[in-house]
Structure 1
Amino acid sequence: MRQARDGPGAALAMAVGLAGLASAMGVGRFAFTPMLPLMQAAGLLDLPQGAWLAAINYLGYLVGALICAFFPPPPLQAARWGLAAVALLTLAMGLPLGFAAWLLLRFGAGVASACVLVGVSAWALTTLASLGRSNLAGVVFAGVGTGIAAAGLVGLAAGTAGLAPAPTWLLLGSASALVAVAVWWALPARSQAGARGADVPSPIGSAGWRLVVCYGLFGFGYIVPATFLPAQARELVPDPALFGWVWPAFGLAAALSTLLASALFREAPPRRLWAVSQGVMAAGLLAAALWPSLAGLLVCAVCVGGTFMVMTMAAMQEARRLAGAGAPRLIAAMTAAFAAGQLIGPFTVKWFGSGSGDALRQPQLLAAACLLASAAALWPGETDPAPRAATPG
């Protein structure tokens, strides 16, 4: 009887987690990436303005992470209201409001995305742990790559068909609204899963702060390709039917990576898995910087897209191993550092100039160096196997 009840509970946690993260991250955070070349082609933005819109979204993500760290909302409320906000703010991007209003909208979408990430992760992962199904966490985190791939395919279709940016934004917002309604209906009225974890102080010692710093370097390392790969591809190959495939490839690699990592590297210590993944990501950035071609950018897309969610999953496992029941606050601190690191990324593009080629090559080299330094810092230390089943809460 218990097994019959557990099945639907695990299925619901996976479905809500996958759909919620797909909307919050694939649209609320990263839909702007495939939309940037479309808005450039329509004469609505140049690259420095695109960097500002990206940066303000990352600033909102930082603010949302800090809110979750110091004033943690109940996970179910954070998931419901955050997804509703992502939908409304994305729909508003399709209105003729102008650059100043877009800044406010992207900031709000960043705040909402952070709240959804914390809320959905806290509820879904703790629910799976309480059912003894922590091995299914890869399905939840595959939602990020699924959302990125879906948003990328929408951008590809819009660019190929010559669709204007405004109706494309409205299409993305409508999809997020459907997810928000479905998740609002599917979530239980109340749940103890993840409800108390944020109230437990996290003993962040030197090992914990090392995770915080390394996670911040990870945020900087991946955000340049995560924001500007399609724009860089457009400079090399103007045909949207070709450059538009870079972002869907990125998302597909991200979606498959967590599933494969959960199946193939279940026994690997999370810290080592995180460090190796950062080395692979650095190799992808070097490929884009030193081999400026569509093939080089596809290599970068696969290397970065295929590792960044594995690194996120491994980092959360390591935080849970170090802090136990206090992991939510350590994860919130790591998320804030990640947001601060990624906030710097778009500004490096502005500092190095406005041309896509030279403006992106130097930040890519700098990001690769930061990732390698972080990997070196992560490699020593605790190497205990990742826990097979995390303790609820």
Structure 2
Amino acid sequence: MTHHVTRFKVLSAGIFSLILVLGVARFAYTPLLPLMQQQAGLGVAEAGWLAAINYAGYLSGALIASRISSLVLKDRLYRIGMVLAIVSTLVMGLSTNLMVWAISRYVAGLTSAAGMLLGTGLIMNWLIRHNHRSELGIHFAGIGLGIAGCAGAVMLFTPWLDWREQWFAFTALGCLLLVPALRWLPPPDTSGLTTTGQKLQDRPPSALYLRVFMAAYFCAGFGYVVSVTFIVAIVNQLPGLAGWGNLVFLAIGIGAAPACINWDLIARRIGDLNALILAALLQIVGILLPVMVPGLWAAMLGALLFGGTFIGMVSLVLSMTGRYYPGMPAKMMGKMTLSYGVAQIIGPAITGQIGAQLGSYNAGLYVAAAIMALGAGLLLLLKLVERRDARGLERVLVR
């Protein structure tokens, strides 16, 4: 098999795995949420808790990923995660018991970590070994395709299928995605060298840099999760926009699909941290547009902006961790994702409670925008820390 065919298959395996664990197992819940509230009796606060439990599963997976060093074990857990993604989707349609749903959402969260962290780590490792580091943005396109795909599928299915049949349709779709996700990812190479014989050397940042970076990423996680979990319900409640929520969610996915490649190019021009600051500021605009400017166009533009930035921030951060730790990218990815993941548990739970009190989730978006603004401030602080660390390194080299 030629090298180009192998590279195409490895990148495709990554894209299909992300569509499976994020589009099917995790994010199908968002466009199906209004339907489950109408047809299956799911309450407002309970919907928030189910989302929070999903992120708790993701957080547990991130914790596991941050502790594992063995590439062989990562590969095995990734493959188990892909199968569990399908099982957790099937279970959603088999019951109306809140406890069963909660277990399903927790397992779905675990599988998203398997795809997003272990799978991405394995693919990043393969790309770095074969000197294709710059192509990670292509892999992350799977996140946007997953979100757009599940929103499009729900819009297509809703006239014909009830909430339960839609979960079964997503299960069937997952089975199709499973085959390339498992078959096209080669077993991991455990040698510490690239194919040209260079040694994979880790260059970790300072402890202060890492702490500020994790705090900024926590803010990004909060800003992301509130919009992505409740946007369908929020838009459906806005004056004159009832029934348009799924279209807006589709716009998030469309904005997200090319975002990683776009932000990769922007980062090469202006630097990683500058690109992250720009993405954070644009994301604040995307979060606030639907609730501050009336009408469908504002909601759609906000969704495109939001989709095009949140995914860019994730891919920029994970690509940076790959540069710091080329040999073991998933370990630092796991730590970064823990901070992102904690925010993803707190965000939906707080927004669900605010929603139950005020009868609307809108206030959650204002809170999310404020926390994103704090995150942008922390990224500016990170630039100062980076300069300080560079000066310290210079002094060490001069000595």
Asked whether the two chains share a fold, i.e. TM above 0.5, the reply is yes
CA contact (8 A) 2:68 2:331 kept: no
1:17 matched to which residue of 2?
14
1:388 matched to which residue of 2?
none
* 1:268 aligned to which of 270, 274, 288: 270
Q: Distance in 2 between matches of 1:294 and 1:175?
A: 30
| Residues 69 and 264 of structure 1: CA distance in aligned 2, closer, same or farther (over 3 Å) | closer
SS in 2 for 1:353: helix
Deviates more, 1:86-95 or 1:182-191: 182-191
The unaligned stretches of length 5 or more in structure 1 are: 384-393
CA contact (8 A) 2:203 2:324 kept: no
1:74-89 aligned at under 5 Å gives the runs 74-89=73-88
CA contact (8 A) 1:10 1:131 kept: no
Matched, 1:301 2:303: yes
1:389 matched to which residue of 2?
none
Q: Distance in 1 between matches of 2:217 and 2:204?
A: 17
1:185 matched to which residue of 2?
183
SS in 1 for 2:93: coil
Q: Distance in 2 between matches of 1:203 and 1:138?
A: 22
Matched, 1:52 2:53: no
1:50-199 aligned at under 5 Å gives the runs 50-71=47-68, 74-159=73-158, 161-192=159-190
CA contact (8 A) 2:266 2:275 kept: no
| Residues 348 and 177 of structure 1: CA distance in aligned 2, closer, same or farther (over 3 Å) | same
TM-score by length of 2: 0.87
| Residues 70 and 135 of structure 1: CA distance in aligned 2, closer, same or farther (over 3 Å) | closer
CA shift for structure 1 position 169? 0.6
The unaligned stretches of length 5 or more in structure 2 are: 194-198, 388-399
| Residues 173 and 191 of structure 1: CA distance in aligned 2, closer, same or farther (over 3 Å) | farther
Q: Distance in 2 between matches of 1:72 and 1:97?
A: 39
CA shift for structure 1 position 190? 4.5
| Residues 310 and 194 of structure 1: CA distance in aligned 2, closer, same or farther (over 3 Å) | farther
CA shift for structure 1 position 131? 2.0
1:278-289 aligned at under 5 Å gives the runs 278-289=280-291
Q: Distance in 2 between matches of 1:130 and 1:275?
A: 30
| Residues 179 and 152 of structure 1: CA distance in aligned 2, closer, same or farther (over 3 Å) | same
| Structure (1 or 2) with the larger CA radius of gyration | 2
CA RMSD of aligned residues (A): 2.7
* 1:346 aligned to which of 345, 348, 353: 348
Q: Which amino acid aligns with 1:98?
A: N
| Residues 13 and 23 of structure 1: CA distance in aligned 2, closer, same or farther (over 3 Å) | same
SS in 2 for 1:29: coil
1:367 matched to which residue of 2?
368
1:32 matched to which residue of 2?
29
Q: Deviations over 1:328-358 (max 9, x none)?
A: 3222111011010011111122331327x86
Q: Which amino acid aligns with 2:143?
A: V
CA contact (8 A) 2:95 2:101 kept: no
TM-score by length of 1: 0.88
CA shift for structure 1 position 265? 4.3
SS in 2 for 1:336: helix
CA shift for structure 1 position 204? 5.6
| Residues 238 and 72 of structure 1: CA distance in aligned 2, closer, same or farther (over 3 Å) | farther
CA contact (8 A) 1:83 1:116 kept: yes
Q: Which amino acid aligns with 1:146?
A: L
| Residues 135 and 71 of structure 1: CA distance in aligned 2, closer, same or farther (over 3 Å) | closer
In the alignment of these two chains, the number of paired residues is 377
CA shift for structure 1 position 308? 1.1
CA contact (8 A) 1:208 1:330 kept: no
Q: Distance in 2 between matches of 1:79 and 1:326?
A: 15
CA contact (8 A) 1:75 1:118 kept: no
CA shift for structure 1 position 246? 1.1
Q: Which amino acid aligns with 1:185?
A: R
Q: Distance in 2 between matches of 1:216 and 1:194?
A: 32
2:251 matched to which residue of 1?
249
Q: Identity of counterpart residues, as a percentage? A: 26
SS in 1 for 2:37: helix
CA shift for structure 1 position 68? 1.1
| Residues 190 and 26 of structure 1: CA distance in aligned 2, closer, same or farther (over 3 Å) | same
Q: Distance in 2 between matches of 1:280 and 1:238?
A: 23
CA contact (8 A) 1:6 1:131 kept: no
Q: Distance in 1 between matches of 2:67 and 2:335?
A: 9
